[in-house]
A and B are shown apart, each in its own frame.
Chain A
Amino acid sequence: MSRLRPPPNAQDHIQGRPDAPIQLVEYGDYECPFCGRAHLVVKAIQRAMGDDLLFAFRNFPLTQVHPRALRAAQAAEAAGLQDRFWPMHDLIFENQQFLEDEHLFRYAALVGCDMEQFAQDIGSDAVAEKVRSDFLSGARSGVNGTPTFFVNGERYDGSWEPEVLLSFLQQMRGVRELR
């Protein structure tokens, strides 16, 4: 139980080399304060691990608890259609108390989106389906809260304090090297 399905693929937003030995996938919610903290942790881990790490982010908005989470996810995906996913993702997490439409549209403009296109895409069925399909893949993979991390396909239930997660990932990296 609780294996990542599907593995990172072309539908995902991915940072790092596709053949990196450590693959970290996060299911997150832009309005969740824990995910806001985890965002900084992931950045630190990426800096520390460099080419050894692939990172992918999938949406898991808990819409009943976080009323702006879905819209924020759709904003990130809409920016993604213009190749601006990661700067939008960063900006949203860095400003997660401000997720009304006026803010989301300002972030989209800041990261250089064509605003007419963005305005069309944020409410489109395709973007809504992408977010829902992320959510369902998470539910099937055993996501049990946000953030939930998967490391090389297995749900990671340990602490994601930066030192703890980093040493876990480095240890896994070491084990792979020894093989």
Chain B
Amino acid sequence: MALEAGKQAPDFSLHTTPDQSVGLRDFRGRNVILAFYPADWSPVCSDQLPIYSELLPEFRKLGAEVLGISVDGVWCHLAFAKHRNLRFPLLSDFEPKGEVARTYDVYRKGDGFSERALFVIDREGMIRWSYVSPIGVNPGADGILEALEGLSQGRKS
């Protein structure tokens, strides 16, 4: 079972490029959409991530940044991001392989890659929504938008 709403999101530090790393704590004060996906280049992922890229302006209006994360290496991520024109970081959960996916309980041991899992994490680092999609089904963005809107309404009241 993936970590659920109400739990503190485990921090991590992962490479996004050969010489840059990103951690959850770098985003304190922002909401974070953490999108685990099985692999760069797989047909479903190739549709899923470009939709998030298109929605960046809406996500930012809702105070959120997107981080993609898979077990692929940084060079693979760079090529994939360039090919699909992705405009958000892809994190490399590569060494030890799948360690971050394991801490979020979304690693598929037999397969060696993660579930297709979404986490919405609030400004204080608390998981506010999580969802595991069937591996071959692109979850789209409706659940993320609803979760983020719930957070921003909560702040206003």
Could you tell me the distance between the alpha carbons of A157 and B137 in the complex, rounded to whole angstroms? 9
Shortest Cβ gap from A142 to chain B (Å): 4
Shortest Cβ gap from B135 to chain A (Å): 14
**CB-CB under 8 A for A139 and B58, given A1-B143, A62-B51, A65-B50:** yes
Contacting residues, chain A, for B84 (C-beta < 8 A) = 64-65
Contacting residues, chain B, for A65 (C-beta < 8 A) = 50, 84-85
By size class, the interface of chain A is 10 to 19
Candidates A1, A64, A135; contact of B142 at CB < 8 Å? A1
Contacting residues, chain B, for A1 (C-beta < 8 A) = 142-143
**CB-CB under 8 A for A62 and B142, given A136-B58, A139-B58, A144-B137:** no
Could you tell me the distance between the alpha carbons of A1 and B84 in the complex, rounded to whole angstroms? 27
Q: Which residue of A lies closest to B52 (CB)?
A: A139
Q: Which residues of chain B (8-65) have a CB below 8 Å from chain A?
A: 47-48, 50-51, 53-55, 58
Q: Which residue of A lies closest to B142 (CB)?
A: A142
Q: Does residue B89 face the partner (Cβ distance < 8 Å to A)?
A: no
Q: Does residue A145 face the partner (Cβ distance < 8 Å to B)?
A: yes
Q: Which residue of A lies closest to B57 (CB)?
A: A132
Contact assessment for B50 and A139 in the assembled complex, using a CB-CB cutoff below 8 Å? no
Q: Which residues of chain A (124-179) have a CB below 8 Å from chain B?
A: 135-136, 139-146, 157
Total chain B interface residues with beta-carbon distance under 8 A: 20
Shortest Cβ gap from A61 to chain B (Å): 8
Q: Does residue A2 face the partner (Cβ distance < 8 Å to B)?
A: yes
Contacting residues, chain B, for A157 (C-beta < 8 A) = 137
**CB-CB under 8 A for A140 and B137, given A62-B50, A62-B51, A65-B85:** no
Shortest Cβ gap from A115 to chain B (Å): 30
**CB-CB under 8 A for A140 and B145, given A64-B85, A65-B85, A157-B137:** yes
Q: Does residue A15 face the partner (Cβ distance < 8 Å to B)?
A: no
Q: Which residue of A lies closest to B144 (CB)?
A: A139
Could you tell me the distance between the alpha carbons of A139 and B87 in the complex, rounded to whole angstroms? 18
Shortest Cβ gap from B9 to chain A (Å): 23
Mask for B68-79, Cβ within 8 A of A = 1, else 0? 000000000000
Candidates A2, A64, A135, A141; contact of B50 at CB < 8 Å? A64
12 pairs across A/B with beta carbons < 8 Å? A62-B51, A63-B54, A65-B85, A139-B54, A139-B141, A142-B140, A142-B141, A143-B51, A144-B51, A144-B140, A145-B138, A146-B47
Residue numbers of B with Cβ under 8 A of A are 47-48, 50-51, 53-55, 58, 84-87, 137-143, 145
**Other 5 A-B pairs with CB < 8 A, given A139-B51, A143-B51:** A64-B87, A139-B58, A140-B141, A140-B145, A145-B48
